[in-house]
Structure 1
Amino acid sequence: MHELVENYKPDVLWSDGDWEAPDTYWNATEFLAWLYNDSPVKDSIVVNDRWGINIPCKHGDFYTCTDRYNPGILQPHKWENAMTIDKHSWGFRRNAKLSEYYTTAELISELASTVSCGGNLLMNVGPTKDGIISPIFEERLLQMGEWLSINGEAIYGTKPWTVQNDTLTWGVWYTSKGSTVYAIVLHWTWYDNPLPLSAPLKLFKDPNTQWSVSDAVYIKFPDKSTVKSEWAWVLKNTI
């Protein structure tokens, strides 16, 4: 560990495999004391919480708690959702079925709910023994990148809003940046079936969106063929 830090000077040190023994066995306290006080990255390093039995979710710059940790509500401490595209494994499985991989829509849903609650998403890819990323992983990563190229403003540099998800409509998560609030909508609503929300929002990058207020805000989506985004859609409101 000292060699890794001294030679590569990482920004984040992500420890794992801690469950076999307490932190005293791993000499975690002594190592972290050196890391924060005397190492070449002492002023910038960030570490997770996997440094021994009973340490996860208690000590660390950010908590991972368990694999696929996604509480769905705002947390008092910075946290990370460490998950895999393969629903059952961190590595590559030759016999995995298509149904055992998360779809792009499911991955975007995981991203939206995580970021809305103040978390960071760590999305793992299991390469082959030769270090090759298989086509199914490549497709998911490219499609995530495609979605973020259009809607990344609602993810990057954002913070949780006053509320994390909409109380009127399932599958709507909120993020914020300065005076702007974003609603990430996980399901498309057709023009003749307006989407009810708890805040007045305009469709991101589409000035033709129609909305009205009564007991809630009802947003009419445009013709789906005119919208570039797939899988999930972002609404933007500047307060």
Structure 2
Amino acid sequence: MKRTLLSAALLAIMSALCFAQQPAPPPAHPVPSIQDTETAAQRDARMAWWRDARFGMFIHWGLYSIPAGTWNGQRYQHIGEWIMNDASIPVAQYKALASQFNPTGFSAHDIVALAKSAGMKYIVITAKHHDGFAMFDSKADPFNIVDATPFHRDPLRELAEECRKQGMKLGFYYSQAQDWTYPGGAAAVRGTHDPKTGHWDKAQDGSFDEYLHKKAIPQIEELLNNYGDFPVVVWFDTPREMTPERAAEIVKVLNKHPNLIWNNRLGGGYKGDTETPEQYIPAQGFPGRDWESCMTINNTWGYKSWDTNFKSTETLLRNLIDIASKGGNYLLNIGPDSHGIVPAPEVERLHQMGQWLDVNGEAIYGTKATLFDVPTGTFSTTEKDKRGNFKFTPTWNWRSTTGPDKLYIEIFAWPTNGVFHLDKLPRKVAGAYLLADKSHKPLKLTPNGEGLDITLPSKALDPIATVLVLNTPS
């Protein structure tokens, strides 16, 4: 009897310990988001166009294009759109830049046409960045491009009209938390700024909740309601001070637009729809999650007159292919100058990317991640990157994307012996050809163990990436 009681007591203690060791369920959101309540089928339908798109244009444009990386004769090495913070520019001085902002060189038609020529399927533009300046007509706050500048035009409205005409999707970036010119807006703690608020000017002090309810939420409502069927994407950023309760106030607004796609940077524990790796491509992507690498063409997002470190077209195309092979999207940035003109080197590279996609887009759009279990690089055992992960160094031999009845092999390094070898096949291959070969001349296939040898022409058809197509009918 005593043994039975002891055993029962022991079991009870062990059960309690086991229960205590179980991870606590995630806290329920104060307001359920659309992602919390939709079915898998509903999510697939909502995300379908975005998953097919694979390539989009990010636009960082605002007052920061006037100083263009230089303030009081000093060049600031950080990204251009952060110059107000980096140079500790007082609010009144920064707001005064608006009187100089008259970007008469801006053409919504040309911007959308540039995106189309690059093979991009959607655009996301900074409606308001951390400096608090609205690049749209806002009744919620007069610090905007229509009311505060001699330009007196709403570029977002013009872009929306052109996107409809040219068949382009349009999304808006909105800095929901940081606002360096409105009292109470958040600011990242940097340098000698106030260690609690991040502020450097008394004009920035105030109530964050008042900022949220008097400016941020009303402006988000304006963006969601004033541009017809746009935006299709809302891109939040740097969720400092965004508690679950504060984020829930924004979610109430977002939920009124059930087809909207929004990212993982709202804050307050809301995961949104998309992971957003910035300036890097994750080694394995984000299996099970939609994701989008946002990256710059040079070293800055917002325009800097002296940043001429533009990536090569080869690098940009390899990034696109690498991202698509891992099931992600590539959101590639342009930074127009204070006249609204896109730097010529950016235009040139986008046109060149579009030329490749005109021939090879079938291997990118509407595809899924690779089915080949082949490493795309190596991890260091000692060196770590800035995110604290072991550094990943990609290898540029080939990548693969997947269609319903085709496997696409994007070959970077053309085999010197004229034979492309695959160790193991995820599907049965019935034939092969090069996508850039208009005649689709069949290539010789030779079984090799569990793999396959494909005999190729002596030279690549494209110096950056030649696409090999494997027919895999079900």
Provide the TM-score with structure 1 as the length reference.
0.82
Q: How far, CA to CA, are the matches of 2:372 and 2:448 in structure 1? A: 20
Cα contact 1:85–1:137 (8 A) shared by 2: yes
CA distance in 2: counterparts of 1:234 and 1:115, whole angstroms: 14
Cα pair 2:406 2:469 within 8 Å, conserved: yes
The structural deviation recorded for 1:49 is 0.9
Q: Does 1:172 align with 2:398?
A: yes
Secondary structure in structure 1 of the residue aligned to 2:294: strand
1:134 has 2:354 as partner: no
Aligned with 1:52 (options 251, 267, 287): 267
Matched, 1:71 2:282: yes
Q: Is the 2:397–2:412 Cα contact (8 Å) retained in structure 1?
A: yes
Return the letter of the residue paired with 1:183: I
Using the TM superposition, give the Cα deviation of residue 208 of structure 1 relative to its aligned residue in structure 2, in angstroms: 5.1
Task: Give, in angstroms, the shift of residue 24 of structure 1.
Answer: 4.8
**Structure 2: 5+ residue stretches without partners:** 1-219, 377-394
The Cα shift of 1:221 comes to 2.9
Is the CA contact 1:104–1:140 (under 8 Å) kept in the aligned structure 2?
yes
Which of 1 and 2 has higher RCO (CA within 8 Å, sep 6+)? 2
- The two structures, once aligned, show a CA RMSD in angstroms of 2.6
Partner of 1:203: 434
Matches within 5 A, 1:77-226: 77-86=289-298, 88-97=299-308, 100-163=309-372, 165=374, 170-190=396-416, 192-198=417-423, 199=425, 201-204=432-435, 205=437, 206-207=440-441, 209-215=443-449, 216-224=451-459
Shift of residue 43 of structure 1?
2.5
Question: Whole-Å Cα distance in 2 between the matches of residues 109 and 24 of structure 1?
Answer: 39
Shift of 1:132: 0.7
Q: Is the 8 A contact 1:165 1:172 kept in 2?
A: no
Distance between the aligned counterparts of 1:103 and 1:197, measured in 2? Answer: 29
Larger relative helix fraction: 2
Partner of 1:234: 467
Amino acid at match of 2:278: D
Long gaps (5+) in structure 1: none
1:6 corresponds to which residue?
225
User: Per-residue displacement from partner, 1:156-175 (whole Å, max 9, x unpaired)?
Assistant: 011113226567x9521111
8 Å CA contact 1:208, 1:222 repeated in 2 = no
**Distance between the aligned counterparts of 2:374 and 2:347, measured in 1?**
30
Asked if the contact 1:159–1:175 (Cα under 8 Å) also holds between the matched residues in 2, the reply is yes
Aligned-partner Cα distance in 2 for 1:105–1:126: 20
Q: Which has the larger radius of gyration?
A: 2
Secondary structure of 2:275's aligned partner: coil
Following the alignment from structure 2 to structure 1, what is the Cα–Cα distance between the partners of residues 326 and 307? 31
Contact 2:418 2:457 in 1 (8 A): no
Bigger drift between 208-217 and 9-18 goes to 208-217
- Secondary structure at 1:118 match in 2: coil
Specify whether residues 93 and 209 from structure 1 end up closer, same or farther in structure 2 by C-alpha distance, changes over 3 A only.
Answer: farther
Percentage identity across aligned positions? Answer: 32
The number of residue pairs the alignment matches comes to 223
Supply the distance in 2 between the matched residues of 1:149 and 1:23 (Cα, whole angstroms). 45
Q: Could you say what secondary structure the match of 1:161 adopts?
A: coil
The one-letter code matched in structure 2 to 1:21 is E
Residue type of the alignment partner of 2:241: A
